[in-house]
Structure 1
Amino acid sequence: MERNYTIVTEFIILGFQNLQELHNLLFIVFLILYILTITGNVIILSVVRIDRQLHTPMYFFLSNLSILEITYTSVVVPKMLSLFLTGNNVISFTACMTQLLLFFFLGASECFLLAVMAYDRYLAICDPLHYASIMHSKVCIQLAVASWMLGFLTTFIPIILISRLSFCGPNVINHFFCDAPPILKLSCSDTHMTDIVDLICSSTVIVCSFALILVSYYNIMVTILKMTTAKGKRKALSTCASHLTSVVIFYAPGLFLYVRPEASSAFDSNKVVSLLNTIVSPVLNPMIYSLRNQEVKATLRKLIRRKLRSLDGQQR
């Protein structure tokens, strides 16, 4: 019986090797974006926690999204910043597999959570009379937990298969983190079955969750078009605008990167597209939900005024 073995004990992450002269600049830019991501999502979490008026299903799911964004970007960005700053582009086999597992687990969980958020908007707009009775706190928790669990379950099998492959040749990953396609390219085992399982799992997660979002928004648009007042239409659209923007920003790169065969053939372009998922989307989401959301903006203004009054009182 043939036994899988691993000769390679560490990988070298190539990163943006053709931009070495810009590494210091890239470090500063990505560090600022990372800080903005953490800060923005922490603010969202704090605002939702403090203001009781925001203790609703929509903001509960938004809090989960913020937690996902913080952890999702933290899986990739710190190692990339270390590469820019120190030039240390070595990662152990175990650390690489762990990063791969966490990246896909959190990414898949976000797909399912965005679908849940679309379902929440569907109920709020299309069935407002039964919304409160359907989306009570227990159901919200169950849907959020289901999103995280499905994210893990749909990721676990392909990552286990990848970790059991043999790596006995080149160990240079042509990416800025441990992503599945470039890792599979390095294996000296037969990766045909692993490729198929990886493609099926990735496609199932992205396509099925995206299809649920499309169905939800199709029904939402039908309901909005039937509304008789312009004010009602504007209010309904405004509650969906932030979520729709997040969906477009998150799913467009995901569909390009993982829902196609031979995804490993264009790594340089994949790096650029991956930046949208790992850096751009997490930093934009807090801005999207705060700048376009009147309730969040009102709470932020209230908290800032309260803080200013407190500081003024201390100075006196």
Structure 2
Amino acid sequence: MSTIGRRLSESRELVRISDRISFLYLDRCVVNRDSNAITATDERGTVHIPAAAVGVLLLGPGTTITHQAISLMSDSGSTVVWVGERGVRYYAHGVSLARSSRLLQAQAEAVTNTRTRLQVARAMYAMRFPGEDVSELLMQQLRGREGARVRAVYRQHSERTGVEWKRREYDIEDWDSGEPVNQALSAANSALYGIVHSVVVALGCSPALGFVHTGHHRAFVYDIADLYKAELTIPIAFDVAAEEVDDIGAVTRRRVRDAVHDGKLLERCARDIQRLLRGDSTTSTADFDELEFEVISLWDDRDNQVAGGVGYGDEF
């Protein structure tokens, strides 16, 4: 199949990130392309997956992916993330679905100003403390309140499931040495990070420009993922640990996938990111399409921006 001169899909032809399935984890298989689908082949046979319906494709150890498959995923605006065993390690990711830099510019402007950065950070914490006024709290106070909240959530689910809880502890170099609940938490959070990462880059934002977390190439991913852990990954991890399953990582990822789909987390995550960066609590699902058209402008020190694709030599 020749790719020379192949037409790229227009933004309006692509499936919105909020309407896609959450993530697909593959390992120990060959990933190829068949028309507008990617295929995963191992000793059991071949499975076809519509590329445009996938939010993020997680490629684990033992996967071989063809140039044609990557080309299709890129054209479909689907994020491809290379991960380690059981999805715990993150290595690299593919391209963004976004055709506009407006959210990225809003993110950069907000994070580089102390006042607006604090506003966004407070808004993030306010989402975790519904009904509470956090508008006057300092970051130290917010961190302390959040730490107490998370400890209470761990205790609550420990009592609910009967799974003993000591502390959050894991060794990324020695997965099997961790307690079952900590293994499940690592697997669940890793899947959540991949999902959130796919939404962040699909909207054209920077995973590195965080408001609460800082100094890491996935700081903003951790910011957004923390909004959902108490209701998503923590209860799932304790449930899986209580069942004493053989493959904790695989079972946990399936539970997270189902919960993300049933709870429409992709749509919610996309909406939350836009609300936080725009400072607008009224953003609806219908507003998502605003970000999906291609505009190339030129920066101007007086008029902010002028139209691109225009010859300006005659001005002089």
TM-score band by shorter chain is: 0.3 to 0.5
Q: TM-score, normalised by structure 2?
A: 0.32
**Larger relative CO (CA 8 A, sep 6+): 1 or 2?**
1
More helix by share: 1
Q: TM-score, normalised by structure 1?
A: 0.32
More strand by share: 2
